[in-house]
Structure 1
């Protein structure tokens, strides 16, 4: 039985590797480290199907090191210690840990001593942000390399390479009428792209000419739609559907997509973090309690764990879905950042500056600053922007009951300068 096409097409040398030119190009930092056999312990962070596992295999092969491969899903401290106890050759062995973000703190701590002493060269692969998922102590001992999703030209090159070099595919007469559906459905995932290509070819294997069209690819993809794969495209599709259902105020759809993720083994922390982001980005000041609820949910998930945490996650998902929505604060900070970049040269007005010394007071620092507490309604009609930006509006309250009240208050306070 033939191995899957992605496995058959796995690169055997660095020159065969497609993508990641910043790391593996002629002057790429990682290529130079491999060529000089000065490979550091590292975390490979990137989306699925960009070659993290393949790169670990190539590093071990190119530097003539023993490779031990573990999956964080199925291994624990015992398996780690078994590997660390094995003898090594002239150079420290490469220990590759797929989905390293799935290791808990004690499992990650078990690696610290060996990495620090150089007993092993650790290569961890993750689709999650290492800043959130990897212990700071371990992260400080590793170089983080960011792998980017494959671009259109790279994916097309991968398709043609498969058709021309694979022993099975090159016996068939395959032509590409269009690439759009293959590229769209693969989402930059090389493994998924090759799997889809093989599905399409096998579905039409009896034809003398296999002319691949968008319609053909879409039909085959629908017939063979894979179940949720945490490390595949549906991971991103389903979390997107979940967030859009919350944003669209549909608690039923939100619960359904959350249940799909839970049943597939998604990390509850990941779901809770996404709800916390959504609570601020999409609800904001329309219901400030939402971010408090979402943060409490994240902390509860960490303390209680699954399966009990599903109840809290359900409660908060329903709460977020049924809350009024506003992205006014999210839009405001992006506008503020853009404005700050353009106007970083503008000085702070003297009346807003701190005056810790007598000289600063003498030259006017803090002079005429008005304390809001000393004015009716706790409001001092004073400019708090650089003079050149006086009256600039960044925060536009959303169309909901609470922010309508905020709008009225701002108009009352700032009506002379601001127009909401």
Structure 2
């Protein structure tokens, strides 16, 4: 391909592709990894790359950084996508790496985007070429590597966590794109004020690719004001119609957000709980999923300190089923706030786990004879239920000293009510009865 054709292709490439940095000096963000003295920066400066995986959200530079590291170390670079590649493609890459080593004496970096999508067998096929030095593996993933990569592969890689870009970094990126006449939009002399740039940066939600895509679309919709193409907030708002915050159903962000909601309720912070509730709704989470989790919170973290919490959570779920969105979401918000403000107790949750542990690990202990059912004459003759004390016939409807456990577990206690809400009264009652 001739030089003019290459330039023509570059002009028509997406702005995000044209603005991809080629050196560390142009790379934006990730200073927690790339600042002087950091281990990754040292490896780059010394030209000795190692097998690694970049874990982070979309648009933070995982692919770009992989290419920069390979280039700075003068490595041959092979790029694969786990969506399209399989064992056959991996073998071809390994064969290419062997040939490059033999003919050109170069190391090869094999970069695999979305490596979390590889199956166990595909991951296993990478082990030997990494181990014998045929390839240096760079992986990129938006999912937690400890869940998505098998231990054998993970033990051969170093994990680096990349972070979302802040608004200042994204604003600087936008300014570069606006003023660069070769790779960016500099030749068009677009007029974009600082407020509009900040609006784009905020909407990009930490994603450089999304940031540049928004700018490119907005530039195509620019209005002519006083003879100059102008991108104003009205244009940006038009571009952003239907925009939603980052939310990956079933992925790390999804579970991190529901975890934040649950912990905010547990921590008695109704404001933070409402925020995470709203974040999940805004990201497209099924409100009925949230409703189910709220019901769980009512039992796990409020319990008998305020039994009305469970009732309200169930009613909120039923209200949402009746009303749908958006009306029914208010009922869920009501339940979230109530549970966040309610007295907290996990005593039932702890007691249940302790009882389940005994049930699983103590074997098939027999029911004490006095507690057994006696529907037949034979069972009565065998003494089933003979010494049972009917609680309603006892003082305070309590058979003091009666044992309801299998003999080996006699005297076990699982439930320890807290000194909050209704459980304080329950604790007082149980203490009184146990002294009888």
For normalisation by structure 1, the TM-score amounts to: 0.60
RMSD: 4.6
Distance change (3 Å), C-alpha of 1:52 and 1:275? farther
For residues 144 and 380 of structure 1, the distance between their equivalents in structure 2, rounded to whole angstroms, comes to 42
Deviation of the 1:215 alpha carbon: 3.5
Distance change (3 Å), C-alpha of 1:245 and 1:379? closer
For residues 294 and 168 of structure 2, the distance between their equivalents in structure 1, rounded to whole angstroms, comes to 34
- State the partner residue of 1:220: 239
1:161 paired to 2:190: no
- Give a deviation string over 1:88-133, Cα, whole Å, max 9, x none: 3324200000000011111111101111121111000001111111
Distance change (3 Å), C-alpha of 1:12 and 1:412? same
Distance change (3 Å), C-alpha of 1:328 and 1:105? farther
For normalisation by structure 2, the TM-score amounts to: 0.58
- State the partner residue of 2:211: 193
- State the partner residue of 2:82: 72
For residues 80 and 20 of structure 1, the distance between their equivalents in structure 2, rounded to whole angstroms, comes to 29
- State the partner residue of 2:246: 233
Count of matched residue pairs = 301
Of 278, 294, 300, 1:284 maps to 300
Counterparts of 1:10-89 in structure 2 under 5 Å? Answer: 10-86=20-96, 87-89=99-101
The 8 Å contact of residues 114 and 141 in structure 2, kept in 1 or not, is answered as yes
Distance change (3 Å), C-alpha of 1:219 and 1:108? same
The 8 Å contact of residues 282 and 327 in structure 1, kept in 2 or not, is answered as no
Distance change (3 Å), C-alpha of 1:328 and 1:79? farther
The 8 Å contact of residues 9 and 166 in structure 1, kept in 2 or not, is answered as no
Deviation of the 1:408 alpha carbon: 5.0
The 8 Å contact of residues 70 and 98 in structure 1, kept in 2 or not, is answered as yes
For residues 70 and 183 of structure 1, the distance between their equivalents in structure 2, rounded to whole angstroms, comes to 30
The 8 Å contact of residues 78 and 108 in structure 2, kept in 1 or not, is answered as yes
Structure 1 unpaired stretches of 5+ = 260-271, 288-320, 334-372, 385-390, 398-403, 416-420
For residues 414 and 73 of structure 2, the distance between their equivalents in structure 1, rounded to whole angstroms, comes to 68
Structure 2 unpaired stretches of 5+ = 1-10, 263-272, 304-331, 347-404
For residues 2 and 284 of structure 1, the distance between their equivalents in structure 2, rounded to whole angstroms, comes to 56
The 8 Å contact of residues 301 and 345 in structure 2, kept in 1 or not, is answered as no
The 8 Å contact of residues 45 and 147 in structure 1, kept in 2 or not, is answered as yes
Q: Which one has the largest radius of gyration?
A: 2
